[in-house]
Amino acid sequence: MDVAWTMHTGFGSWNPALWLAALLIALVVALAIRALGRKDYRKNSAQTKPFISGNEEPAHGGGHIPASNLYWGFLESMKAYYERLVPLHTGMLGDYLVWFLGVLAAVLVIGLVI
Amino acid sequence: MNIGNLIMVVVGTGAMALFGIVAGLFYMGIDRVLVARMQARIGPPLRQPFIDMAKLMTKQNIVPANAIPWLFNAAPLVALASSISIMLYIPLGSFAPIFRGYGDLILIVYLLVIPALAMVVGGLASGSPYATIGAQREMVTMISYELPLATTIIAFAWKYAQLGLDNPFSLATVAATPIWSQVGPLGFVGCLLLLVTMILVTPGELGKIPFDTPEAETELAGGLLVEYSGRNLALFYLSLGVKAIVLTAVVVALFFPYNLSSYLAMSALPARLVDGAFFLVKIFVIMFFSVSLIRIAMARFRITQVVDVYWKYLGALSLVGLILVMVDSFIR
């Protein structure tokens, strides 16, 4: 098979057009399987209410969940790391420049040694 | 792309879809029987996952009132279609990948993210508190297992780039040049550590115990799948079955690419059949050690423990594996 638009990196390769074509065909297969199933349900009935173990559903707009909650498990597990890292982000340009120069110097030293 | 290529893509994708779905459901059945036997139960028949699928197709396909309908319905389709598309980049037995030369190991790592992201999107689109928590946990689990998975893939990519082979990142190249014959004692130990890492990344990718925190039936009543029913739920189950085959096939291609036909004097067709059967056995063995045995022996981790296991312990283990493979290459 010889297909245009293949990107070669010298180590590997990938062809986005070919993947998209395969994805579209796979989507058709998935749609065909889906079409075998039952389509109906009772709209606007109790079965369309969210399952919350019998609890009352909170009023819409009554609560606000910040996006950072998405990563709660990660932030909690890495708390020790973030407790040190967050205070370093002072918001002052001078501090960031010092960090940038420090890391650049370290990379240069490591690069020269290796 | 000419007509011949198009026919090749259509037939190849259809064949991979059929193989992935049938083999995925079959291995789900084997897993359930084995787990039942280890718990001293008789368990369901092997065909139970097929019966479950048929039953789900007869159930109502409820779309919750709070859901975003088009996203809610699209997520299972994308999950299944993207899982099937990855099959085209993986060698199966002595059959080279259908898309050989058009995708490499690094691409597979990226494509593996799509089914998991589709589940996250589906969960968030459900408009359910349980599903939202499940989606949040799926995101965190995904971030967690990416580190050891990426480190393992980097180790392989680095090693094969060092060997000076053509297309070193190609899975077909990796399968044709088994890693064990390319490393010394230190590299051998490093590869063993990478194998352990991949074995433990697999249940996380598949959301199996002890890494099933996003679903957590007893806690979140199914988590990100809680609002799914009928044909939409069936598609998610099918995508998990296909993904199980994808992941185990990747482990086989990376670590156990050997074929029986190379040791037996056989003509072309019987050799293909024997290699195909041997490939299915290898998948079964990997599935047994990475899914069945682990899920029977352990309880569910909390989400913070999932991060600990993947980022701290397996991250360190895979890094040691990578370093050993590199040191081995330098001193050889």
Task: Answer for the pair B48, B59: CB distance below 8 angstroms, yes or no.
Answer: no
How would residue A62 be classed by pLDDT, with cut points 50, 70 and 90?
low
Residue-wise pLDDT for B252-308, tens only, equals 999 998 887 777 777 777 778 888 888 999 999 999 999 999 989 888 888 889 999
How many angstroms separate the CA atoms of B264 and A96, rounded? 64
The strand ranges marked E within chain B are none
Give Dmax (Cα) for chain B. Answer: 64
Residue-wise pLDDT for B215-265, tens only, equals 777 766 767 888 898 899 999 999 999 999 999 999 999 999 888 777 777
**pLDDT attached to residue B1:** 64
**pLDDT attached to residue A63:** 63
- On chain A, the residues whose CB falls within 8 A of the CB of B230 are 37-38, 41
Of all residues in chain B, the percent with pLDDT exceeding 70 is: 98
How many angstroms separate the CA atoms of B8 and B17, rounded? 14
Q: Which residue has the higher pLDDT, B26 or A37?
A: B26
| Residue B159 sits at the chain A interface (C-beta within 8 Å) | no
Instruction: Report CB contact under 8 Å: B103, A14.
Output: yes
Residue-wise pLDDT for A88-113, tens only, equals 888 899 999 999 999 999 999 998 88
Asked if residue A1 has pLDDT above 70, the reply is: no
- On chain A, the residues whose CB falls within 8 A of the CB of B75 are none
Who's near A19: CB < 8 A, 6+ residues apart?
B85, B99, B102, B103, B107, B111
Instruction: Report CB contact under 8 Å: B307, A77.
Output: yes
**pLDDT attached to residue B56:** 92
Residue-wise pLDDT for B158-196, tens only, equals 888 888 887 888 888 888 888 888 888 899 999 999 999
Give the tokens for residue A57.
Answer: 């559903």
Task: Answer for the pair A62, B293: CB distance below 8 angstroms, yes or no.
Answer: no
**pLDDT attached to residue B124:** 87
How would residue B211 be classed by pLDDT, with cut points 50, 70 and 90?
confident
**pLDDT attached to residue B246:** 93
**pLDDT attached to residue B173:** 83
Instruction: Please tell me which residue of chain A has the smallest CA distance to B136.
Output: A70
**pLDDT attached to residue B220:** 67
- On chain B, the residues whose CB falls within 8 A of the CB of A80 are none
| Residue B227 sits at the chain A interface (C-beta within 8 Å) | yes
Q: Per-residue pLDDT averaged across B128-142, rounded?
A: 86
The total number of structural domains that make up chain B: 1
**pLDDT attached to residue B260:** 79
Who's near B136: CB < 8 A, 6+ residues apart?
A69, A70, A71, A72, A73
**pLDDT attached to residue A61:** 67
The alpha-carbon gap from A93 to the nearest alpha carbon of chain B, in Å, equals: 30
Give the residue from B118, B128, B297, B146 showing the smallest Cα distance to B227. B128
Task: Answer for the pair B232, B56: CB distance below 8 angstroms, yes or no.
Answer: no
Instruction: Report CB contact under 8 Å: A37, B231.
Output: yes
- In our burial notation (b when 16+ CB lie closer than 10 A, e otherwise), range B256-287 reads bbebbbeeeeeeeeebbebbeebbbebbbebb
By residue range, what is the domain housing residue B59?
3-331
Peptide bond into B178 cis (omega under 30): no
Instruction: Please tell me which residue of chain B has the smallest CA distance to A28.
Output: B81
How would residue B130 be classed by pLDDT, with cut points 50, 70 and 90?
confident
**pLDDT attached to residue B241:** 92
Mean pLDDT computed over every residue of chain B: 88
Asked if residue A70 has pLDDT above 90, the reply is: no
Asked if residue B48 has pLDDT above 90, the reply is: yes
Hey, which residues 245-264 in chain B have their CB within 8 Å of chain A? Answer: none
Q: Per-residue pLDDT averaged across B301-318, rounded?
A: 91
Instruction: Report CB contact under 8 Å: A71, B140.
Output: yes
The amino acid that residue B241 corresponds to is G
Instruction: Report CB contact under 8 Å: A71, B143.
Output: yes
Q: Is A110 exposed, middle or buried (0-12, 13-18, 19+ CB in 10 A)?
A: exposed
* Highest mean predicted confidence (pLDDT) among B87-101, B163-177, B193-207: B193-207
